[in-house]
Chains A and B, each alone.
Chain A
Amino acid sequence: MKKRIVLFFILLAFGFVSGCSIVEQRAAKLPGAEIKEKPKFFVLSLEGDKRNIALVISDELEAMGYESDSGLKSWMPPDTDVLVTFEDRWFWDMANYMIRLNMEFRDPVTEYPLVVGESLRTSLARKSPPEMAREVLTGMFAEYEKN
């Protein structure tokens, strides 16, 4: 009986732990979306973006070899080719961590989406914001080039 109880709790604990490591990446290109070669990006800051995620994304784009800037919409240079919008979600498990990052490449004038991407990582699979940003961007560029 004791063995059965121990086994039961081991299985239960395993169930909880496996639930802590959900990983999902998604990216899609909207039909007819066109982005010029070597585009100039502008990452739109969110109001109250205390963690400066816009800058993190912009830095990752630069590290990938693109010209990029970030800030409020009024700061967007007129020669911007792609506007980048995002939403970051955070969760607490021993410490705050980014659980989800959504990103969109948009037409800078109409703000119509061109490519969308998402990365979701729960506690045991957590990554730093720059790694999450790189993961989403890589998926979005791959999806754009594939189609």
Chain B
Amino acid sequence: MKILICISSVPDTTTKIKPTGDGKAIDLANVQWIINPWDELALTRVLELKEQPNSKIEKITVLTVGGRNAEPTIRKALAIGADDAIRVDTEPGDNYFTAFQIAQALKNYDSDIIICGIESSDYNGSSTGSMIAEMMDLPSVSSVSKLEIESDTVKMNREISGGFEVIEMPTPMVAIVQKGIAIEPRIPSMRGIMMARSKPLQVVESADVKPLTVFCSYTLPSPKAACKMVDAENMEELVNLLHNEAKII
């Protein structure tokens, strides 16, 4: 069984975000790039499955859409334990553009399960995985918080309002994963880092497609008014403020 994991390269989650002078982009100078947290957890889960006795997983491939500057991120995924990598050679555009690039690159690529994180921690789009599935005419399950592989089906928990469903779906399919899929992301070992250097990284040409949306300006949220402090001994005052001032209770 071949597993493909889509990896997005995003600014470290603690990055202080500020727009550029003209407000047309986010200032990305000095940003530390990381693997999108959900993609990293997806990779961790698939490695756990591959290490199980009698695992049917033959190969784990990671794919990213990005220029040469995305290579350290994809090398990190190889260092964590992916077997090989694909980079679609273009800067990612909107969700449609990016999904299209991935669907094109995977057209002649045989994978049984394609896994995407539920969203990217930068643009919070929550759409690429399902778009890829639709473009490739594959079934998909979103909000997956647990994933097991059984002969030629995938067994998953899907989070729903107030609980979860246990779902089975035949391969090939797309799984869109979120919290719970793995607990702690794996850290690359020294040996993994050494081995990653010689693992195959295939660069494929991008497809000719136009994005359908354009992010045109960025602003920071207006700063919050100063926090009003209430004495710990005077909770009646807090209740009074919430009732009469905030009018929230």
A and B together in one complex: no
Binding site for A on B (CB under 8 A): none
Binding site for B on A (CB under 8 A): none
